[in-house]
Structure 1
Amino acid sequence: MSKNNEVQPTAVNLICDGTSLTGDIQATRDIRIDGFLNGKMVVNGKVVVGHTGKIEGDVQCKTIDVSGRVEGNIVASEMVNLKNTAVIHGNITTDKITVEPGAKFTGSCKMGDVPPKVDVAHKKDEKKEKGPQ
């Protein structure tokens, strides 16, 4: 266990199978979805959508591995990996993509012109400066 309640650098956020979450997620560390998320996701690291995972909303991250289902647009600054069980309904914007035989992708893919990554920590600071609106 870490001292003084510090988060270990290898920590990964996890939404387990059987868990449903409604709302937007912002994370500075990697996250794995094996349950259901209805909302937008902004992650400074890697997103993994497991076989039982489903996201209804847009995802912005560095890399994403999808074995489950995503119904929304994906913007990955580095890489998108669609496994053979992946089902995507939305557009993909990324630098690189791999698609295994069997993956289902309905939408368009734009490569090479990826918008700059969003810094979640910086975004929080901006909201504090602006205050409630």
Structure 2
Amino acid sequence: MFSESKKKRATVETRGQSNRIGKSTNIKGDVVSKADFRIDGKLEGSVETSGKIVIGTSGIITGKVICANADIEGKFNGELIVSNLLTLKNTAVIEGEVTVSKLSIDPGATFNATCAMKTGIKELNAGEGKKADKTA
């Protein structure tokens, strides 16, 4: 019973939390988080989160991003994988490879990327020893 309440508390603590990379911050490396991220500085590397990524107007990411949702106002160059909604604001500049489920592009955004739109694939467990069925 104690472990159940501890598990619930950890889940609640990660909700509503967000991380921020400020305008004057430059990061080289990989970042992994379950919380949302806002980038107003420069990041060279990769970001992986089950939350939302926001790249502000002064934000620049060069590398790989994997997230659930993304709002981009700044610059991105690399591989972008968004499992749900990618929103590009009019100041966004995107170059590279993009894989999304849903895409929204405001007039004025620059989108110089290859784009694959994919729906989520749900794997159903058909039991042990059996091959899992896939449905779209």
SS in 2 for 1:58: strand
Q: Structure 1 residues 38, 7: CA separation in 2 closer, same or farther (over 3 Å shift)?
A: same
Identity %: 37
Matched, 1:48 2:54: yes
Q: Distance in 2 between matches of 1:41 and 1:70?
A: 12
Q: Post-superposition shift, 1:9?
A: 2.7
Q: Structure 1 residues 73, 115: CA separation in 2 closer, same or farther (over 3 Å shift)?
A: farther
Q: Distance in 2 between matches of 1:9 and 1:77?
A: 19
Q: Distance in 1 between matches of 2:16 and 2:52?
A: 12
Q: Distance in 1 between matches of 2:121 and 2:54?
A: 21
Q: Post-superposition shift, 1:108?
A: 1.1
Q: Post-superposition shift, 1:45?
A: 0.4
Q: Distance in 1 between matches of 2:66 and 2:90?
A: 22
2:117 pairs, out of 86, 111, 122, with 111
> 1:5-28: per-residue Cα shift (whole Å, max 9, x none)?
x94631210000010001000011
Matched, 1:20 2:20: no
Q: Give 5+ residue unaligned stretches, structure 2.
A: 1-11, 123-136
For the Cα contact (< 8 Å) 2:47–2:65, is it kept in 1?
yes
Q: Post-superposition shift, 1:91?
A: 1.3
Aligned AA (1:16): G
Q: Post-superposition shift, 1:69?
A: 0.3
Question: Relative contact order (C-alpha < 8 Å, sep 6+): which is higher?
Answer: 1
Counting strand residues as a fraction of each chain, which structure ranks higher?
2
4+ residue segments displaced more than 3 Å = 113-116
Matched, 1:32 2:38: yes
Greater C-alpha Rg: 2
Task: Give the CA RMSD over aligned residues.
Answer: 1.7
TM-score scaled to structure 2, two decimals? Answer: 0.77
For the Cα contact (< 8 Å) 1:68–1:85, is it kept in 2?
yes
Q: Give 5+ residue unaligned stretches, structure 1.
A: 1-5, 117-133
SS in 1 for 2:71: strand
